Amino acid sequence: MSGWRAVIELDEIWEGDLVTCKVDGIDVLFINISGEVYAYRDKCPHAGTPLSQGLLEDRVLTCSSHLWQFDIVNDGIGVNPKNCRLTSYPVKVEDGKVLVQIRASEAEQT
């Protein structure tokens, strides 16, 4: 696993915002829900549509292409359909900066 990367300031991710940053060649989607930051690959597992183009309501993110839904707070598991999951990344906040960790094998697949 590669090291932690400081990507963005915490105050740049407002609650309910969908913010995308490129990390090790991967578009990573950052979402702030109730002060907790989550990081996912910005790509729907169904059609590859950027999830940042979707709609976030409470903790459910809906893909703009085919309306698949994912529970952001519950590790990106599928709400509709239930048999899918988003690619999640470890994320932490230190000194007001959001850090994410991308596995080396994933960075190589871009």
pLDDT digits (tens, 9 = 90+) for 2-59: 589 999 999 999 999 999 999 999 999 999 999 999 999 999 999 899 999 999 999 9
Dihedral of CA 5/9/12/13: which sign?
A: positive
- Report if residue 110 sits inside a domain: no
- Global pTM? 0.90
Q: Give the residues across from 28 on adjacent strands.
A: 21, 41
User: At residue 104, does pLDDT exceed 70?
Assistant: no
The whole domain housing 89 covers 4-99
* Residue 12 in domain: yes
4 touches 101 (CB < 8 A): yes
In a 3-state reduction of DSSP, which class is residue 54? coil
C-alpha distance across the termini of the chain, in Å: 16
| Domains identified in the chain, total number | 1
> How far is the C-alpha of 63 from the C-alpha of 56, rounded, in Å?
9
Helix/strand/coil percentages in the chain, nearest 5: 10, 45, 45
Decide if pLDDT at 94 tops 90: yes
